[in-house]
Amino acid sequence: MSPSKSSPLARTVLLAALAAVSLAACKRESAPAAPGDGATPAATPPAGADAAPVALKDAIETTDRYVVGISYPAAANRYPGLAKALSDYAAAERAELMEAVDAFGNDKPTAPYELSLAFEQVVDTPQIVAVAADGSRYTGGAHGQPLIARFVWLPQQDKRLTSASLVPDPKGWQAVSDYVREQLHTAVVTRADEDELAATDRAALIKSTSRMIDEGTEPEPANFSEFVPVLDAAGHVAALRFVFPPYQVGPYADGTQTVDVPASVLLPHVAPEYAGLFAR
Domains and CATH numbers, the chain: 8-161 (3.30.565.40), 164-277 (3.90.640)
**Does pLDDT of 30 surpass 90?**
no
Average pLDDT of the segment spanning 246-253: 92
Determine the Cα–Cα distance for residues 29 and 38; give it in Å rounded to an integer.
Answer: 9
DSSP structure class, residue 126: S
pLDDT band at 192 (very low <50, low <70, confident <90, very high): confident
Average pLDDT of the segment spanning 110-121: 96
Task: Say which residue, 191 or 147, is predicted with more confidence.
Answer: 147
Task: Say which residue, 9 or 173, is predicted with more confidence.
Answer: 173
Residue 56 and residue 110 in contact, taking contact as beta carbons nearer than 8 Å? no
Average pLDDT of the segment spanning 36-51: 42
Determine the Cα–Cα distance for residues 252 and 241; give it in Å rounded to an integer.
Answer: 20
Task: Say which residue, 167 or 280, is predicted with more confidence.
Answer: 167
**Does pLDDT of 263 surpass 50?**
yes
Cβ neighbours for 176, distance < 8 A, ≥ 6 positions apart:
167, 219, 224, 242, 261, 265, 266, 269
Look at residue 53 in the predicted model and tell me its pLDDT. Answer: 79
**Does pLDDT of 111 surpass 80?**
yes
pLDDT band at 23 (very low <50, low <70, confident <90, very high): very low
Determine the Cα–Cα distance for residues 17 and 112; give it in Å rounded to an integer.
Answer: 17
Backbone angles phi, psi at 85, to 5 degrees: -60, -45
| pTM of the shown model | 0.80
pLDDT band at 193 (very low <50, low <70, confident <90, very high): confident
**Does pLDDT of 261 surpass 70?**
yes
**Does pLDDT of 141 surpass 90?**
no
Determine the Cα–Cα distance for residues 95 and 98; give it in Å rounded to an integer.
Answer: 5
Task: Say which residue, 161 or 74, is predicted with more confidence.
Answer: 161
